[in-house]
Structure formats: C-alpha cells, structure tokens
A and B are shown apart, each in its own frame.
Chain A
C-alpha cells in the first residue's frame, strides 16, 4: 500500500485482533518457515519437557506483528525490524497487534517513520501479557505509488 499521506508523532494505528490461535496456525507456520522444533507441534514432546501443551513459535507472532505494520506502510518500505520476545503464546490465545508512530524524519529519499509496536496475548484462562514488543522503521517514498 503506497500513500502520499504524511504521519505525525503520536499517530496510533488501528489495532487488529486475530482469531484464537490454533495448532494448525502453528503447524502452517512451521512448514512455511522450516522450524520443526517438536516443542511447537508434538503434544507428547511438550508435556515431557514440562509444558502443559505445545506453544507457538515466537517468529510466528513476530511475523504477524511485522506484517501488521507492513500492510499499512508498505512491504517495500520496511528498513528495520527489531523484535523482543516476552511471553509465550498458547493455543486458544487471542493475539492483538497495535502500534504508535514515535518518530518522523524528513530525508532526501522521503519520510522516515519509526513505530513502536506490540503483540499482546489473551489466554482462554484470562491470563494476558505482551508476547512481542517491536520497533520498525519505514521509508515512505516521496511520490505516491
């Protein structure tokens, strides 16, 4: 998505919530990325390792969060993604992505926009927390489209 729109510090992106996480979501990402650590899809393996069940691949929710911002600012405009993993994500969790513009710089090539982003989880048991926090930088070209 290209746009001639300019952004201001403090601008909040519309949050997006996803359907409750399924084991199929995890397995589909495992196949797409090549991460076949059994802790993420094999119930027996996960319980032997001391976990109540399988849990999501951190880079899955990282992908959701980075795409959430890139869908709005343009995948070709991404210049930097920094992700910090906090809480694990479990089947049944509802993930919610949100973000705020925290920096805007005019550069010769266009407007550089810095974002603070968060992917938060809410579990079926009512527990909640931040799964991923991130910063991203986009360079929005001067001419639209």
Chain B
C-alpha cells in the first residue's frame, strides 16, 4: 500500500521557519525540503487505514519516540515533486525495563519514491512502549 505526498512550497517555508532557519534554499518554487521535513508526510498525508502503528498493539499512553532516521539516496527532494510513500513495519524487539517489566520496540519504515519510481529517501522511526508501571 502507498499514498501520494505532494511537496508544497508554502509548507516547506512554514516548516523551515517553525524550525528556526532562514536559509534561502527553503524558499521558492524549487526549494529543497529541510532535513526532517518528511516527518510531515505521515502526519498529514498518510491515510489512517495504511498506518501500521495500531497493528503494533502498543498502549498509546506508554509510547515514546525513541529514534528517528532519514537516509537520502541523493539530494533531498524539492518543492514540486509528488512522492509516493510506502509504509511497513521494520524490526521489533523487547528489552527488560530498568524498573521491571518489558519495554517493546518497533521500527516503522517509510520509503519515498519519485515520479520515476527511484527511491529518494528512507525514514525509519523507532517507537517504544515503556514497561507497565508496577508490573
């Protein structure tokens, strides 16, 4: 499953300013995306039914964002491109919590492809579910 993610000029400018940069590379009809901009795809464009996160069975109140990684397989994408995003679960593992109980980890991998099908970027988010209190 996949979905379309249009890279928009106003959104790139807004994101750059919200993250305190005025680099002119983020302005204009061919602006490049800021390094962490692709986080926005999942939050705004991902159809709910495509999200693999509910399938993890994590209790949302105990979920933390542990790590985040972006790999660009060339220059980061530009305004004007429409990327195709596919989402899947990556590795999953468990660890003993410091105060007892079990911490569960899961990676969510998003692949961003351009109009020709070339892989432009890979985003890996590591989520963790903290151990149940008192368990």
Using CB atoms and an 8 Å cutoff, list the residues of chain A in contact with chain B: 1, 18, 25, 28-29, 31-35, 49, 58-60, 62-64, 66-67, 69-71, 74-85, 136
Binding site for A on B (CB under 8 A): 11, 14-21, 23, 25-26, 32-36, 39-40, 43-44, 61, 64-72, 75-76
Q: State the CA gap A70–B11 with chains docked (Å).
A: 18
- A69 to B23: give the CA distance in the assembly, Å: 11
- B68 and A79: CB pair below 8 A? no
CB-defined A-B contacts under 8 Å, sample of 14: A18-B20, A28-B18, A49-B61, A58-B65, A59-B36, A59-B65, A60-B19, A63-B34, A63-B35, A70-B35, A74-B25, A75-B25, A80-B72, A81-B36
Q: Give the total number of A-B pairs whose CB atoms are below 8 A apart.
A: 108
The residue that B15 contacts in the complex, of A33, A70, A77, with Cβ under 8 A, is A33
Closest to A78 in B: B35
Query: Complex formed: what's the CA distance from A107 to B69 in Å?
Result: 23
CB-CB under 8 A from A25, the residues of chain B are: 18
A62 touches B18 (CB 8 A): no
Which of the residues A29, A74, A85 comes within 8 Å of B18, measured between beta carbons?
Answer: A29
Asked whether, in the complex, the Cβ of A59 is within 8 Å of the Cβ of B68, the reply is yes
Are the C-beta atoms of B75 and A76 separated by less than 8 Å? yes
A136–B124 alpha-carbon span in the complex (Å): 14
The 8 closest A-B pairs by CB, nearest first: A63-B19, A34-B43, A32-B18, A66-B35, A34-B44, A67-B21, A32-B15, A75-B25
8 Å CB contact of A34 from B23, B40, B69, B75: B40
A104 to chain B, nearest CB (A): 19
Q: For B70, list chain A residues within 8 Å (CB).
A: 78, 80-81
Question: Chain A residue with minimal CB distance to B72?
Answer: A79
